[in-house]
Amino acid sequence: GGNTVDGQAGGKSQYSVIVQMQSRGVTGEAADVEQVLSAMPQASAKRGEVLFRHPQGPGCFRCHSVDGSRNGFGPGLAELGRRVSLRQIVQSLVEPSAVITEGFRLQTVVTRDGLQHAGVLLEESGLTLTLGLPTGERISLPKEQIEERRSEPISAMPVLTGRLSAQEFADLAAWLSGLTEPAAGNLPPGGPGNAVSDRIQRKEDRLILSDGDGVIGEYVFRDPKILRPYFAGLRSVSGFQVTRHHPPRPGVDAVDHDTMHPGLWLGLGEFTGSDFWRNKGEWRHVKFAEEPRVENGEIRFATISEMRNEQGEVLGSLMTRIRVLSRSGQRMIVWTAEFSSEGRELVFGDQEEMGFGARVATPLTEKSGGRIVSSAGRSGAAATWGQAADWCDYSGTQGLLRPGITLLAAPANFRGSWWHNRDYGVFVANPFGREAMKQGDRSEVRVPRGEVFRVEFAAVLHDAAEYSAESAWQWYLELSGGQPAASGR
């Protein structure tokens, strides 16, 4: 008794006590990485979770998702403890601008009315620019109202030194390093499914796909300039865009082949007398043969396209089957193509520009310090060009991560793939261009009318520093179950 307004004990009931976290202010302590690591033996993961989630904490929860309950615009943190080391986590907390991952530099925009906005660039079109603010809010600004725009040489993550003590940093790191489980929306096959509306947004010309870690990318099935389906804006689980920006940004990206290299695609430069790589012929979307859905944790759908030549004549039908799934901080896209025609023979010719390709983000290119490695043990664009391999990986170091893409060719395709790899960022698994890839006589694959010809490939989006492309290959083999991906030729 005694804790009352009138100071008199006894006879009092039904009053509440509100406990509030002490407001985070300046600690006066500029902790460094080594001090935080020294404090780790006394670290409390429970205290770290409170710091992360509490509204009066440093505000981490406003931008980052750890369980798939929200799609923040900061990197997804699910399975962070599997993907990076404790030291890397500490460094990213204490020195966010020491090494900045591409895509997370602070963008400053000044409008004509004198207002200044700073945050992460989320989206940009010809009319608007959308920023993610440190408060967790999004703001869309009409480009006609923008007076000045700058990309700052610092991270968009707020500086926390001086606000958190070395022990508080250690508490946060202890909790983050313990995040080793998949996000709720990113469960392996066999787990519960999610509502399609949470994972798939359908528009007139594309599907916008996401999982518990955020946006995966867009599957475009109708485009007036690019006359075949493709993926664009593909991202790793940490939010790093691993495919070149589409359309490419002048002054930032190389702008060559913008309608041929949109992100991730299947293309054929010589097919039944037409060019379906350089957008001469068209794979015209007809309908979804299988509606987009989430099934056992995977995104699945299938489309039917008419294959039309330059004169608009229908050559045959293409069924495209897509699976998108995740495991251990990696995202896999399985792309199966089934070609058929009831009216004519189909012929796959021999060119470099044939097969399953990707154009990596500008910072990942070999010209920017990235690297290509193959399952055959070769390294570099020149050394892997024209050579046979089960897979090739294209990646580059970005801060604490090594984001990239691994392309894989199904082992049961009609033959193995040679690789059309370039130092400016494109790489292609090509099972058709035997002569073009300097590996023998001219190839011509003929498919009699009424038969179905099937090929399959996969792409793995990754960003872990210790990523293994060979492990991704084994994952793909487990998924395929040894089933043939194509009829023999």
Identify whether residues 53 and 195 lie together within a single domain.
no
Higher pLDDT, 106 or 208: 208
Q: How far apart are CA 133 and CA 139, in angstroms?
A: 7
Answer yes or no: is 129 within a domain. yes
The arithmetic mean of pLDDT across residues 192-199, rounded, is 52
Tokens matching residue 22: 């002490």
Counting Cβ atoms within 10 Å, is residue 213 exposed (0-12), middle (13-18) or buried (19+)?
buried
Q: Name the residue with tokens 């608009």.
A: 312
Residue 220 to residues 26, 228, 234, 301, 304: CA-CA distances in angstroms?
48, 9, 12, 13, 13
- Residues 243 and 311 placed together within one structural domain of the fold: yes
Whether residues 91 and 124 share a domain: the answer is no
Q: What percent of the chain has pLDDT over 90?
A: 58
Residue 105's SS3 state is: strand
Q: Are residues 124 and 41 in the same domain?
A: no
CB neighbours of 160 closer than 8 A, spacing ≥ 6? Answer: 58, 93, 94, 96, 169
Number of structural domains in the chain? 3
132 & 203 share domain: no
pLDDT at 2 over 60: no
| Closest CA relative to residue 299, chosen from 275, 316, 324 | 324
| pLDDT value of position 163 | 84
Domain assignment of residue 406, yes or no: yes
**Does residue 254 have a pLDDT over 90?**
yes
**Is 353 or 198 the better-scoring residue by pLDDT?**
353
Task: Indicate the pLDDT class of residue 77, thresholds 50, 70 and 90.
Answer: confident
Tokens at residue 416, please? 């193995």
Residue 193 confidence (pLDDT) = 37
454-468 per-position pLDDT tens digit: 999 999 999 998 999
Q: Has residue 23 been placed in a domain?
A: no
User: Same structural domain for residues 163 and 46?
Assistant: yes
| pTM exceeds cut of 0.85 | no
Query: Are residues 339 and 483 in contact, defined by beta-carbon separation less than 8 angstroms?
Result: no
- Looking at the predicted structure, is the pLDDT value of residue 25 above 60? no
In terms of Cβ atoms closer than 10 Å to its own Cβ (0-12, 13-18, 19+), residue 488 is exposed
317 and 443, same structural domain? yes
> How much is the average pLDDT of 385-406?
95
State pLDDT tens for residues 417-475: 999 999 999 999 999 999 999 999 999 999 999 999 999 999 999 999 899 999 999 99
Q: Are residues 243 and 342 in the same domain?
A: yes
Residue 28 within any structural domain of the chain: no
pLDDT band at residue 261, thresholds of 50, 70 and 90? very high
Residue 37 sits in a domain whose CATH number is: 1.10.760.10
For residue 93, pLDDT beyond 70: yes
Q: Is residue 486 part of a domain?
A: no
414/348 same-domain check: yes
CATH number of the domain enclosing 453: 2.70.98
Enumerate the β-bridge partners of residue 323: 300, 334
pLDDT at site 247: 93
Please tell me whether residues 82 and 230 are part of one structural domain. Answer: no
384, 444 in Cβ contact below 8 A? no
Residues 401 and 339 in one domain: yes
Q: What is the pLDDT of residue 61?
A: 79
* Dihedral, CA of residue 219, residue 75, residue 121 and residue 263, to nearest 10: -30
Please name which of 486, 432, 429, 484 lies closest in space to residue 458, comparing C-alpha atoms: 429
Tally of CB atoms within 10 A around 132: 22
Within-domain flag for 400: yes
Q: Give the separation between CA 191 and CA 287, rounded to whole angstroms.
A: 29
Whole-angstrom distance, CA of residue 99 vs CA of residue 74: 16
Cβ(387)–Cβ(376) under 8 Å?
yes
Residue 8 falls inside a structural domain: no
How confident is the prediction for the chain on average, in pLDDT? Answer: 87
Domain around 135: 105-155
Q: Which amino acid is at 110?
A: V
User: Taking a C-beta distance cutoff of 8 angstroms, is the pair 137, 122 a contact?
Assistant: no
Dihedral sign for Cα atoms in the order 94, 99, 102, 107? positive
461 three-class SS: strand
Indicate the pLDDT class of residue 52, thresholds 50, 70 and 90.
confident
Tell me: do 275 and 151 sit in the same domain: no
Tokens of 181: 């489980």
| Rounded Cα distance, 144 and 131, in Å | 16
